[in-house]
Every structure is written in structure tokens, then in C-alpha cells.
Amino acid sequence: MENNQLMRTSLYAGGTSPVKMIQAGFYNEDCLVYDLEDSVSAGEKDAARFLVYNAIKYQRPAGKYILIRVNGIYSKELDADLEAAVRAQPDAIRIPKVEYAEEVVRIADKMTAIEKKAGLPEGGVKIWCNIESYLGVLNARQIASASSRVVAMALGAEDFTASMSAKRTKPGWEIFYARNAVLMACREAGISAQDAVFSDINDAEGLERDLEMTRTLGFDGKTCVHPRQIDQVNACFTPSAKEIRNARRVLEALEEAARNHTGVCVLDGGMVDKPMELRARTTLAKAEAAGIKWGGEEK
């Protein structure tokens, strides 16, 4: 994950409503996505572009990872969206319905051209790819490594299931393969893996069950459809005190073994192996990114 930046939760704010855009900056989401796509009607695309550009330039919320979701790759709005979005200098743009690596390459090239023209640092604005169809899932490995700008991929379950003629259900078995395919592609490319939304905002227990799957599989974050989901999702991706304690014990045992030149490291009667070390380091990195303190040190 990029610079240990927290990407546990993403919340969309429609680019048409100033009050919703401002309010979104006060919730606890890690990533705020100003939307130019689905939440904006065809006749208001120009207005949304101006509003989002000026919001980021003059009223950027502090401490948040800022994204702009641009319009579709083959829409007539995309070029103007990129012109505005790159100049607004968010942390990343979020591209909907990516299906081929070439699409990402083309957009990355356009972004570079705009940066050169505008005298902006090249490559500063990153890319998140939304994977929302079976083609996107099948090509996820190539998409993930299409450009050095790509720092995350997110599964869009509603459109994906529509492309599959599948029924979207709360248990989510219809997206089980897609989740794993996107996740493995992200791991291979070393980028953040973002899980699909849980659409029922009134079902906190359902969200908890969905999060159990999300975290068990290994995702780094999840998109929220409503602010009320944010704290629950953040908690899911924040290591507990017990997990932090265990991770520290694993690393301490490894350090002890190294000091004593012991070939094998043993903790609580079991051998500490590489996967355990990797999990422990990941846990502590997430805890540190979340600002959790341990051992009397401020992290």
C-alpha cells in the first residue's frame, strides 16, 4: 500500500451538491471520492466539474485521501474530466468500469500530457481502477500493472453481477471468485485491494458478516454507500489490541532468536515462520497508520 496511507474506507460525495461535499469532509472515512459520474445528471456534468475542481483547490479537507471519480472511459465527458481533475491535484482519480490494461495506459498518458502542459509534477496523481464486469475481473492482473500510477483496484459488485447475469445476494457467493481474482491481482502488483460495497444501509448485522468475509480474504478497504457504515468498516480494518500484542510478541521472538543465533524461532510451543512474520508486520503497519499507540511510543 502506498506510503502506509490508510485506505480503509471510501465515501462518495456527489459533485452536484456543495453541502454534501462539505459534509463529507467531516466524516471518518479515510478516502473521500468526489463523483462526476453516476450521481451527476447529463445536464450538470459541466457544473459538477467546476464544483469539484474548486472544492479541491480551495476547500480541500485536511487529512483525507482525495479522489475524483471521472466519467466512463468511452464517454464524451472523460477528456474534460481529466483536464479538470489532474489540475485539481487530488491524490488519485477513480476510473469506472475498467476492462482492459490498454484503457488505463491511454488515460495515464493523457494525464501525463496534461501535467506537462500545466507544469505539474509528472505521475503525482494516482489511479484507482474500478473493476465492474467479468472482463475487468478476467483482465485484473494486466490492469493492476498497466501503469505505475495504479495504486488500487476496487470491485464493483452490482455492475459485475449484472454483467454475469447473476443475482446479487447478501452472502455474496456470486462475487466470491471476483473478490479473490481482484485481490490476488492487487497482491501481485503490490497495490491496495478495495472490496465491493454492502448496499443495505439499514442492515448493520449483514454488514458485519460481509466485513468478516472482506477481512478474512485480505482486502485493505471497502467502499461505503452511506456515512453510517464508516465507523463499522474502519473498525474492521483496524487491528485490535490483542492482534497488536500478538504481532509484537512474534517480532520480539524473532529478534530474540536472531540475537541468540538460534536457527529456529519458537513462540508458545509453535514455530514462527515467514508467513507469521509477514502477518505480524502487516498488522503493526496498519496499526501505525491508524495512529494506534503501543509500548509507550507515539505512533
Partner 1 sequence: MELKKPAMAGTTESGDVMVTLRPEAAGGITIDLTSDVEVLFGDSIRATVRQVLGEFGVENARVSLVDKGALDFVIRARLQCAVCRAAEIEFDWSREDN
Rg (CA), the chain: 20
**Which of the 8 DSSP states describes residue 262?**
-
- Closer CB to partner 1, 79 or 158, in the complex: 79
Q: How far is the CB of 120 from partner 1 (least distance, A)?
A: 8
- Closer CB to partner 1, 46 or 252, in the complex: 46
Residue 252, Ramachandran bin (φ over 0: left; ψ between -120 and 50: alpha; else beta): alpha
CA angle in degrees (0–180, nearest 5) for 270-273-274: 160
Return d(Cα 132, Cα 160) in angstroms, integer. Answer: 5
3 state SS of 258: helix
Q: How far is the CB of 21 from partner 1 (least distance, A)?
A: 9
Q: How far is the CB of 107 from partner 1 (least distance, A)?
A: 16
Q: How far is the CB of 249 from partner 1 (least distance, A)?
A: 50
Q: How far is the CB of 80 from partner 1 (least distance, A)?
A: 7
- Closer CB to partner 1, 55 or 129, in the complex: 55
Number of C-beta neighbours around residue 160 at 10 A: 26
- Closer CB to partner 1, 19 or 271, in the complex: 19
Q: How many residues does the chain have?
A: 299
Return d(Cα 164, Cα 177) in angstroms, integer. Answer: 12
**Site of interaction with partner 1 (CB under 8 A):** 17-19, 22, 46-47, 49-51, 53-55, 57-59, 80, 83-84, 87, 117-119
- Closer CB to partner 1, 54 or 148, in the complex: 54
- Closer CB to partner 1, 88 or 101, in the complex: 88
> Of 69, 75, 48, 8, which is closest to residue 291 (Cα–Cα)?
8
Q: Which residues pair with 152 in a beta bridge?
A: 128, 192
Q: How far is the CB of 128 from partner 1 (least distance, A)?
A: 22
Return d(Cα 84, Cα 299) in angstroms, integer. Answer: 36
- Closer CB to partner 1, 120 or 285, in the complex: 120
Q: How far is the CB of 93 from partner 1 (least distance, A)?
A: 14
Return d(Cα 271, Cα 290) in angstroms, integer. Answer: 29
DSSP string, 239-255: PPHHHHHHHHHHHHHHH
